[in-house]
């Protein structure tokens, strides 16, 4: 089994980025096959898992938290700007930075409640409030804030933080949660509700966000190592994520206008 563990954190992130770009293209250009969305369902859970890994390995959690929130705020402002520039049809709605920042903030305060004897209750309550706000979203009239990945991603981060010291229990609890979320939020499995198998399959692919367990096979290849510490590996995701979305949405808008 050890021979399979060939990929470090950086390599997993770059694999996820490729599939993330495929999924973004799927939503930017209607007509692409629906299976593209299905095979990319591991991306957000994998980033969430690696964020929790970073939480336990970073030398400065506060700086990590500030970096996530800075990226989340800038991305959200960019999303709102895209609404005014490109219109509702072509606006950018994604902001995985915000989801990761909210999840990281919750476990940041819960960890403080575990580690420090003073203000345990206060830190625990702050963490709970942040987590609940993330689940509900923030209504802002025409500019609501809804977390990308939402409930499945936040619960994934909670589970992997809470059971980090016990990998077997970690996977067991996540497996139970995956089954619950699949039946609560997953696609309709009754094919008879649809006029054809192909239409049902398209529906299954479109509604496959609850299949967060699809990232688990990648853990078989994860060796637990960070990889190169060159700055490019830290900052590439923060640059690539908004850049690729803007490029795709601008292209889609341009082709529509043309």
Q: pLDDT per position in the chain (258 positions), as tens?
A: 556 788 999 999 999 999 999 999 999 998 899 999 999 999 999 999 999 999 999 889 999 999 999 999 999 999 999 989 998 888 998 999 999 999 999 999 999 998 877 788 999 999 999 999 888 876 665 666 777 877 888 999 999 999 998 988 988 998 888 888 888 888 888 898 999 999 999 999 998 888 888 888 888 899 888 888 888 988 999 999 999 999 999 999 988 755
Phi, psi angles (nearest 5°) of residue 147: -70, 130
- Locate tokens 């049809």: which residue? 89
pLDDT of residue 97: 94
Q: Which domain holds residue 10?
A: 2-257
Give the predicted TM-score (pTM) of the model: 0.90
pLDDT of residue 234: 85
Partner residues linked to 138 by β-bridges: 145
Domain count, the chain: 1
Phi, psi angles (nearest 5°) of residue 174: -65, -35
221's torsion region: left (phi>0), alpha (psi -120 to 50) or beta?
Answer: alpha
């Amino acid at each position: 089994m050890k021979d399979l563990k060939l990929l470090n954190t950086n390599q997993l992130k770059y694999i996820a980025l490729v599939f993330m770009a495929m999924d973004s293209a799927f939503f930017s250009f209607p007509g692409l096959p629906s299976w593209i969305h299905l095979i990319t369902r591991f991306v957000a859970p994998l980033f969430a898992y690696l964020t929790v890994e970073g939480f336990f390995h970073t030398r400065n959690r506060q700086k990590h938290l500030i970096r996530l929130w800075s990226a989340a705020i800038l991305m959200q402002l960019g999303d709102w700007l895209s609404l005014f520039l490109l219109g509702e049809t072509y606006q950018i709605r994604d902001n995985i930075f915000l989801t990761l920042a909210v999840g990281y903030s919750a476990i940041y305060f819960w960890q403080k409640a575990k580690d420090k004897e003073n203000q345990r209750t206060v830190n625990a309550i702050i963490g709970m409030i942040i987590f609940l706000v993330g689940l509900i979203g923030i209504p802002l009239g025409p500019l609501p804030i809804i977390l990308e990945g939402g409930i499945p991603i936040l619960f994934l981060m909670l589970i992997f933080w809470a059971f980090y010291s016990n990998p077997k229990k970690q996977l067991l609890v996540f497996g139970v949660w995956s089954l619950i979320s699949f039946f609560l939020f997953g696609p309709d499995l009754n094919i008879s509700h649809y006029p054809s198998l192909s239409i049902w399959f398209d529906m299954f692919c479109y509604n496959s966000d609850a299949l967060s367990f699809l990232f688990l096979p990648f853990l078989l290849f994860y060796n637990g190592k960070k990889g190169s510490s060159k700055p490019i590996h830290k900052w590439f995701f923060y640059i690539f994520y908004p850049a690729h979305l803007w490029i795709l949405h601008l292209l889609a808008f341009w082709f529509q206008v043309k």
